[in-house]
A and B are shown apart, each in its own frame.
Chain A
Amino acid sequence: MSKFRKKGGKGQPAISTAALPDIVFMLLFFFMVTTTMRETTLKVKVVTPKATEVEKLERKSLVSYIYIGEPIKALQAAFGTAPRIQLNDAFATKEDLFQFVEMEKDKRDEAERNMITWSLKVDQDTKMGIVTDVKQELRKVQALKINYSTKKTDKILD
């Protein structure tokens, strides 16, 4: 009968705030992790090819990215489907590479300017013509350390 009766009629118990710091920290960590993920919004479709001999890029602060690929679906009406170069947040031509390289070098300490790795994130369906143009431009401005961004796989197929 009285088995399920509460122990005396009680009011609202105070909500414990003991775990509030945990929640706050959790949110903090979560945002810390997510906000560093993307620095640029991709305007080109990039699916990098797969390779077996990949190396990890160390010192993320010394890596600058160059994206090459078809414009994404939403932008194809305006820009067509021909592969384009994207630097930072905007489409660019190979003539803009010179300025881009200089600006990226300016961002780093003087001692580290020659240690920048230029990571080429190129879509696998792109033809080599545009990639070669970019490579030639990079050579001209002495940006020689490059990385072909690829995903790791165990075996490549024909």
Chain B
Amino acid sequence: MAKREISEINAGSMADIAFLLLIFFLVTTTMDTDTGLIRKLPPPPEEEIEQIDVKQRNIFEVLVNANDQLLAEGEYIQVTELRKKAKEFIKGDKNNPEMPEFAVEEVPVFGTMEVSKQIISLQNDNGTSYEMYIKVQNELIGAYNELRNELAREKFGKTYDELVAQSESSETIENQMQAIKAIYPQRISEAEPKKIGGSN
């Protein structure tokens, strides 16, 4: 057979196709990055339980029962109303004897300042659904986050989230973040759940 000239198939676009497929898979396969509400559990109780007296006015009581009904400060409310109520409580009012007391504390950047002694007490039932529990947690965390953001924007012109994101690069921002945190410390105390109302 005589030798014939053979023209090669143009493979120039093969790489493009390969990259196209690669990008397609990269985009469509969702990497399972976990997101959630990060909380800190209290350390285990020691043998002698210290009785700490907290005045009733400093506590914002949140109860959730087995039917996923919510009681905040003795008032039956919906989850969507909880954030506003919690914000009012955390922010406090110096002239209102119903609202939490203020204590003078040392705060970075601002120096001595009056800080509210607020505590949020959350108690749920063993029969409460996890979905409801997360909703309540979310609203309480959201109340703190919103207040922190408002304060940070007022004082430093940035939201608290931005301060947190930039805190590693600069010490001033780190201090500013700590100051906001000291004014609105997240105090969510979880009581042992009740065992009434049917568990599983």
Chain A residues contacting B4 (CB-CB under 8 Å) are 8-11
A26 near B134: Cβ-Cβ < 8 Å: no
B35 near A56: Cβ-Cβ < 8 Å: yes
* Complexed CA–CA distance, A68 and B6 (Å): 65
Given A53-B145, A126-B129, A37-B199 contact (CB < 8 Å): no
Q: Which residues B14-29 have CB closer than 8 A to chain A?
A: 14-15, 17-19, 21-22, 25-26, 29
Chain A residues contacting B104 (CB-CB under 8 Å) are none
Q: With an 8 A cutoff between CB atoms, is B185 at the interface?
A: no
Chain A residues contacting B44 (CB-CB under 8 Å) are 139-140, 142
> In the complex, which residue of chain A has the Cβ closest to the Cβ of B39?
A146
Q: With an 8 A cutoff between CB atoms, is B110 at the interface?
A: no
B34 near A57: Cβ-Cβ < 8 Å: yes
Q: What is the CB-to-nearest-CB distance from B55 to chain A, in angstroms, rounded to a whole number?
A: 27
Chain B residues contacting A16 (CB-CB under 8 Å) are 8-11, 14
Q: With an 8 A cutoff between CB atoms, is A98 at the interface?
A: no
Q: With an 8 A cutoff between CB atoms, is B189 at the interface?
A: no
A49 near B131: Cβ-Cβ < 8 Å: yes
Q: What is the CB-to-nearest-CB distance from B36 to chain A, in angstroms, rounded to a whole number?
A: 4
B127 near A128: Cβ-Cβ < 8 Å: yes
A152 near B38: Cβ-Cβ < 8 Å: no
Chain A, interface size category, equals 35 or more
Given A128-B133, A149-B35, A158-B79, A142-B200 contact (CB < 8 Å): no
B11 near A18: Cβ-Cβ < 8 Å: yes
Q: Which of B8, B19, B22, B31 contacts A14 (CB 8 A)?
A: B8
Q: What is the CB-to-nearest-CB distance from A150 to chain B, in angstroms, rounded to a whole number?
A: 5
> In the complex, which residue of chain A has the Cβ closest to the Cβ of B33?
A56
* Complexed CA–CA distance, A36 and B43 (Å): 33
Q: With an 8 A cutoff between CB atoms, is B56 at the interface?
A: no
Residue from B22, B39, B130, B133 whose CB has the most chain A CB atoms within 10 Å = B130
Q: What is the CB-to-nearest-CB distance from B112 to chain A, in angstroms, rounded to a whole number?
A: 31
Q: Which of A9, A12, A142 contacts B43 (CB 8 A)?
A: A142
The 3 closest A-B pairs by CB, nearest first: A19-B14, A22-B18, A129-B126
Q: Which residues of A contact B (CB under 8 A)?
A: 8-16, 18-19, 22-23, 25-26, 29-30, 33-34, 36-38, 48-49, 51-57, 60, 63, 65, 82-83, 117, 119, 122-132, 135, 138-140, 142-152, 156-158
Q: Which residues of B contact A (CB under 8 A)?
A: 1, 4-11, 14-15, 17-19, 21-22, 25-26, 29, 31-44, 78-80, 124-131, 133-135, 137-139, 141-142, 145, 192-193, 195, 199-200
A-B contact pairs, 20 of them (CB 8 A): A16-B9, A18-B15, A29-B26, A30-B25, A49-B131, A51-B135, A55-B38, A57-B34, A57-B35, A122-B130, A127-B128, A128-B129, A138-B41, A139-B44, A143-B41, A146-B38, A148-B36, A150-B35, A150-B36, A156-B138
